[in-house]
Amino acid sequence: MEHKQQMKGKLGKTIQVRLVSDLKKSQEYYRDVLGCKIDGWGHAERDEMIIILQQSISPEDVRPNAVSKKRLDYPTDWEGPEFGWTRIFTLVGMT
């Protein structure tokens, strides 16, 4: 498959959408534990991180990603995670 590089403007801030089983508890966690501001829309925001929290219809709808296939072509001997994951946050300036 051939891919042509196209530059069309600058990509802006990435905003994640998270399906949650209990919107109120999730908002409290993001506010009280992670220090986020929760706006009237239910968005959790702190520094450069924005997450839109959405209430699931059923708790069974909320599940982590499946474990990914191991890769042998990483630049280290790491082959990938042992569990499914959905996001990575970078902490800056922690002392």
Cα–Cα dist 51/34, whole Å: 12
Query: Which tens digits make up the pLDDT trace of 41-75?
Result: 889 999 988 999 999 999 999 988 888 889 889 89
Q: What is the pLDDT of residues 13-32, one digit of tens each?
A: 888 899 999 999 999 999 99
Backbone angles phi, psi at 46, to 5 degrees: -155, 130
- At 80 the pLDDT is 84
Kind and range of the H or E element at 58?
A: none
pTM metric for this prediction: 0.70
What pLDDT does 92 receive?
A: 74
Measured in Å, how far apart are the chain's first and last C-alpha atoms?
A: 46
Q: How confident is the model at residue 95 (pLDDT cuts 50, 70, 90)?
A: low
